[in-house]
Amino acid sequence: MLHLVVISFSLFNIQFMDNLFGDIRLVNSRLEIFYNFVWGTVCDDLFRDINAHVACKQLGYSTGVSLGSDVDDGSGRIWLDNVNCAGNEQQLMYCSHEEWGSGNCNHNEDVGIYCFNSTAVLGGWSPWTTWSICSDISRNDGLQSRSRRCDLPLPSDRSFYFNGTSMEIKPCNSTLYPGKYLESLYIIISYYT
């Protein structure tokens, strides 16, 4: 059973979409990224251990290594290609890469990663990521987001297990991105299975 918690905002700046999107997950070690309301894969072209380190830190682990394309093939969109991280990025989407969805990869090139020295252990929450950059929703008001993962903690009532991501959003002051606004946008705040 999939549960969604949804919030609607009006006059939402397009820039905030970049701060909210970019959440990542592992599916049988295959790296996937959320963009444009769709989960997609990441190509293994140029994908090195430093890129896996950034992705694993985003997931709440200490570090990680690239498995190359030695994972099951994904399906749907391939969002990122030629990812090149310096190692200090807070999210994989902030590493340099080709334009979203424009790579030359097939799903047999989907990259996998192995994360270790985890703070997101089986049965617990990872630490919160750092707050995103403040993004305008009106002239002086903005929003910031952060997320954390939960991996199968034993339920207190023994009825079901939780596995998913939680996101917090808070107001902030910013005039960094004046300009175009959307009239409304729905944002997934938490999802779990």
Residue 180, pLDDT score: 42
Residues 6 or more apart from 18 whose CB is under 8 A from it? 93, 135
Residue in the structure block whose two tokens are 């999210």: 91
Residue 174, pLDDT score: 60
10-residue mean pLDDT series, the chain (193 residues): 42 43 87 91 95 91 89 95 94 94 94 73 66 66 74 51 68 57 42 46
Q: Are the beta carbons of 34 and 27 closer than 8 angstroms?
A: no
Q: Are the beta carbons of 174 and 190 closer than 8 angstroms?
A: no
Residue 53, pLDDT score: 92
Give the residues across from 65 on adjacent strands.
114
Give the residues across from 24 on adjacent strands.
33
**HEC per residue, 57-91:** HHCCCCEEEEEECCCCCCCCCEEECCCECCCCCCC
Closest CA to 111 of 188, 48, 189: 48
